[in-house]
Amino acid sequence: MQETRDALILRLENAARQVRRDVWRALRAGGSGHAGGSSSAADILAALYFHRMQVRPTEPAWSDRDRFVLSKGHANAALGAVLAQAGFIDDAMLDRFYGFESPFAMHPDMKLPGVEMNTGALGHGLAIAMGMALGARIRGQDFHTFVMVGDGELHEGSNWEAAMAASHQRLGNLTLIVDSNRIAQSGPLPELVNVEPLADKWRAFGWAVREIDGHDMGAIVDALAALPLEADRPSAIIAHTVKGKGVSFAEDTYLWHSNNVDDAILARALAELEAP
């Protein structure tokens, strides 16, 4: 039976809540971590992995799989949570975050099944994703490549090299998602180096752009269903998000870009992430 839109959205919202809970669990296991950027990305990651992307958790190297590159690699706790929930990795791996010789580190590592590229040094993922999309074209494959960057990450100039080349190549099989939570490690972006107007920048570089509320699951699902936003153009979804989304004390503050997590903080976070 076809899943109704309401049922789909409810399922994905529940999945995203579980992702956030698992993020805090992983951070507690590691003793610290990037709560802010992991939580802002959670809804989009859930929609990608539990709805939009064609992947095979038991066959992670399946050659026709859709690709996802987490360029803002400091959100790896969220990626790990998604990979566990999808069945790429054992759920117990979440308790090995930061562990000695663990494949589940602060930043994505290809040693973890389902991770497409070692990332976290910012400004790398878009070029790599473009290479994947070009590889699909050259090899005649239909998979779609997604890449998520942070808005602060867009300070890195290499992104704009890739932005220029991807539109030149008319890569309709490439989608960029900007997790725009407006805060970097040292503070709000307007106080560091302003990145706005973001949508205008991507349009000027030749991309098709849609701005959404990155926590509105209906809007996320609709945007992903509309890809490519224009034929023969790469798509940029600018997702306006809240850093630390879902846990009041972590929301919208650079203090929770990365911070320590003890048992008491974990309990407070999980209490706020109870199912309604």
What is the nearest approach in angstroms of other proteins to the Cβ of residue 211? 25
Q: How far is the CB of 162 from other proteins (least distance, A)?
A: 5
Q: Identify whether the C-beta of residue 48 lies closer than 8 Å to the C-beta of residue 274.
A: no
The smaller minimum CB distance to other proteins, of residues 43 and 66, is found at 66
The yes or no reply on residue 102 touching other proteins (CB under 8 A) is no
CB of 119 to other proteins, least distance (A): 8
Q: Residue 4 carries which DSSP code?
A: P
CB of 176 to other proteins, least distance (A): 14
Distances in Å between the Cα of 37 and the Cα atoms of 11, 49, 259 are 22, 18, 12
* CA 26 vs CA 71, 172, 215, 266: distances in Å: 20, 35, 22, 10
Judged by beta carbon, residue 126 or residue 224, the one nearer other proteins is 126
Question: What DSSP character marks residue 165?
Answer: H
Closest CA to 132 of 118, 116, 119, 149: 116
Q: What is the C-alpha radius of gyration for the chain, rounded to an integer number of angstroms?
A: 17
Q: Cβ 219 to other proteins, closest distance in Å?
A: 28
- Cα→Cα distances 239→62, 159, 210, 214, Å: 29, 17, 8, 4
Contacts of 216 (CB under 8 A, 6+ apart): none
Beta strand 32-33 with 259-260 is antiparallel
Among 14, 102, 169, 253, binds other proteins (CB under 8 A): 169
Q: Which stretch binds other proteins (CB under 8 A): 26-34, 116-124, 197-205, 250-258?
A: 116-124
In order, the DSSP letters of 219-230 are HHHHHHHT-SSS
In terms of Cβ atoms closer than 10 Å to its own Cβ (0-12, 13-18, 19+), residue 134 is middle
The residue count for binding other proteins (CB under 8 A) is 30
User: Shortest Cβ distance from residue 67 to other proteins (Å)?
Assistant: 8
Q: From the centroid of its chain, how far is CA 137?
A: 24
Interface characters, 129-168, with other proteins (x: CB under 8 A): xxxxxxxx-xx-x----------------x--xx-xx---
Is residue 82 a contact partner of residue 12, using CB atoms and an 8 Å limit?
no
Q: Which of 3, 54, 59, 110 binds other proteins (CB under 8 A)?
A: 110
Q: How far is the CB of 78 from other proteins (least distance, A)?
A: 20
Binding characters for other proteins, 25-64, by CB under 8 A (x = yes)? --------------------------------------x-
Footprint (CB under 8 A) of other proteins, residues 59-88:
63, 67
Closest approach of other proteins to the CB of residue 50, in Å: 23
In the bound state with other proteins, the residue whose beta carbon lies nearer, of 18 and 145, is 145
* Interface with other proteins (CB under 8 A): 63, 67, 110, 116-119, 121, 123-124, 126-136, 138-139, 141, 158, 161-162, 164-165, 169
